[in-house]
Amino acid sequence: MNENKIVVNLPNGDSLVAEVCAGLIGIGIMRDNAWIQDLVVVEASHKDGKYIEDKFDIYVYGNENEEGYTEHFGVNRVHSNAI
């Protein structure tokens, strides 16, 4: 198993996949080993080529008929003393 990929085989032959690639985590649908649909992309926030510590961008692809994301969330990391 590829340590950078989690695959869940779906009954219709497609796969639900979570994959680490180029500094981000993508979740989507694959068919015949080809990525066919994004569902969510999570990446560390960055500005001017530098990562912003403890902040993440989440892009949700909520419309199967559109290629671009439909929602964007900025999420701060929970500090270890907060839980």
Please report the DSSP string for 2-55 in residue order: -TTEEEEE-TTS-EEEEEEETTEEEEEEEETTEEEEEEEEEEEEEETTEEEEEE
Q: Is residue 31 part of a domain?
A: yes
Number of domains in the chain: 1
Q: Which tens digits make up the pLDDT trace of 21-35?
A: 877 999 999 999 999
What integer is the mean pLDDT of 69-82? 86
Residue 1 scores a pLDDT above 60: no
Q: Is residue 83 part of a domain?
A: no
Q: Is residue 43 part of a domain?
A: yes
So what's the pLDDT on residue 42? 95
Domain that holds residue 34: 5-78
Q: Is residue 17 part of a domain?
A: yes
In which region does residue 33 sit, left (phi positive, over 0), alpha (psi from -120 to 50) or beta (all else)? left
